[in-house]
Amino acid sequence: MTTPPPLELTPQQVRRMLRDDPDSFTLLDCREPTEWAACRIQPALHIPMGDIPARLQELDPDRPIVVYCHHGMRSLSVTQFLIQHDFTDVKSMAGGIDAWSLQIDPTVPRYD
């Protein structure tokens, strides 16, 4: 019996991916527009969670996708939604942009 792959990547793994080959995957920010305006990780594509069903055509189901939100809960839900819609390589960034700010880049503002 094969164990399914984990649905989450650490911020450190995402940083490595961005450093080593940023064009090899889509970084998807699923936060709300006000959150996006406050801070973001470049070169993220911004599609709020509630808009994803209507904007699926903007995403390539064969391209790896890493989803992030504020703390990692919404991005995990989006990851599961995309997998259910035949996206083959989708992961959520554990801890979201808050963990990114704490562990990777303290210049990214934190918010409540």
Contact (CB, 8 A) for 63 and 23? no
What is d(CA 40, CA 43) in angstroms, rounded to the nearest whole number?
Answer: 9
Active site (catalytic) residues:
69
- Type of residue found at 18: L
Phi–psi pair at 84, nearest 5 degrees: -65, -20
